[in-house]
Amino acid sequence: MTTLAAPTPTHLKEDPWEMARSQLRRVAELIELDDAMLNVLSECKKAVVVSIPTRMDGGGVEVFEGFRVNHNVARGPSKGGIRYHPGVTLEETKALAMWMTWKCALMGLPFGGAKGAVVCDPKSMSLGELERMTRRYTTEIINQIGPEMDIPAPDVGTSPREMAWIFDTYSMNKGYSVLGVVTGKPLQVGGSLGRVEATARGAAFVMREALRKLDQPVRGRRIAIQGFGNVGRNLAKILAGDGALIAALSDSAGGVLNAAGIDVDSAIAHKAEHGVLSGLPGTEPVTNDELVLVDCDVLAPCALEHSLTAENADRVKAAIVVEGANGPVTPAADMILEDRGVLVLPDVLANAGGVVVSYFEWVQGLQEYFWKESEVNAKLNDIVTGAFAETWRLHEERSVSLREAAYALAVGRVAEATTTRGLYP
């Protein structure tokens, strides 16, 4: 039996948990949050670490490490994705859970924030190994999740497939199907139309509203997108369909560049055939580090945390940064971009479309009544554009960044709910 230790996480350039808490402390001063409330919101309600022994195809057993973290439940049950990545850490999972709390509050959803993770490389595992690991992980955290307690969803390295396994494992243990235990499920087992594209669609809605404030159309804008997973791929498709020019794309292995525009459908087909974007005909190679610095109107980091740091933020050429990923801009980079007049659309606003439609799926599952895709997209647009309008209004009234405005609204709502409920006992 082999226990797998977490390798050094190469994508994390600073402590994400301290980064998340520093963002909270900064907004606490802005909204004059008292020390007692800051102490409460600065900590996670619960963090569970589990070992996940898994039978591998070769007959041996490897033991993976898994986490499930609940940050806050003042506004309702916690909600958050499950990440499979070889470099994920408990501190990163805690930060992601905190960001989920603010994201749900900003969108006005009756959820708190949570996050789960397994330290593994899903790309190197067989389908059978992934299923056995996922089902064992679900069993290990089964007392932590539930439709009225904590509702997982997909994240980096997971998909509707893994959500179906979690749904089935949980339901088999309960003895009946529990549609609301997880969101992001396949349509055949209670998923929602529009869920797969929801995070990207929400980002596109926010970008559209920001450009409208600047009196600029989406059509003709040059877009660079880092990350070609669910968010980056669908964002590229949506924006290209709106007439934007996709100048650069990348996946974990590297990227491609064409100043005249990349054909997104060709990029998707090439990725499906070869497993990487590299070598796409009609493009030049570009690294992930180079992609964030290409000449473009809008940069959308849709991969992992810490794409923009103090080391490269002063060389970003984009006028707008859309945080399709969670935490891609460090606090130091934030200040540099703000000083340079770069408009950053923060993650708690820009990539909240996924949790919004996860909420819709949860509601549909509880009611066992499902909506048309046009209804889902229309409701998503209403919520996301409403949150953008509130954030922009505070941004102008207080002369603060959009991140500070978004956090001020979100943290204020969670603090108000905490005060209203009181401390027990």
The enclosing H or E element of 78 equals: strand 78-85
Tell me how far apart the terminal alpha carbons of the chain are, to the nearest angstrom: 45
User: Which residue's structure tokens are 């102008």?
Assistant: 396
One-letter amino acid identity for 239? L
Q: Are 286 and 280 in contact (CB under 8 A)?
A: no
Name the active-site residue from 79, 94, 103, 115: 115
Q: How far apart are CA 367 and CA 129, in angstroms?
A: 34
Q: How far apart are CA 216 and CA 343, in angstroms?
A: 14
| Residue 380 C-beta-side C-alpha neighbours within 13 Å | 34
Omega before 217 cis (within 30°)?
no
What Cα–Cα distance (Å) separates residue 289 from each residue in 50, 311, 312?
Answer: 34, 11, 9
Q: Residue 305 contacts by C-beta under 8 Å, 6 or more apart in sequence?
A: 11, 12, 16, 92, 325, 326, 327, 328
Q: Are 108 and 35 in contact (CB under 8 A)?
A: no
Burial environment of residue 123 by CB neighbours within 10 A (0 to 12, 13 to 18, 19 or more): exposed
Q: CB count, 10 Å around CB of 269?
A: 12
Query: Tokens standing for 350?
Result: 């820009």
Q: How far apart are CA 235 and CA 292, in angstroms?
A: 16
Q: Are 277 and 248 in contact (CB under 8 A)?
A: no
Q: How far apart are CA 54 and CA 407, in angstroms?
A: 40
**Angle in degrees, CA 53, 58, 62, rounded to 5:** 20
Q: Residue 265 contacts by C-beta under 8 Å, 6 or more apart in sequence?
A: 237
Whether 115 is catalytic is yes
- Active-site amino acid positions: 115
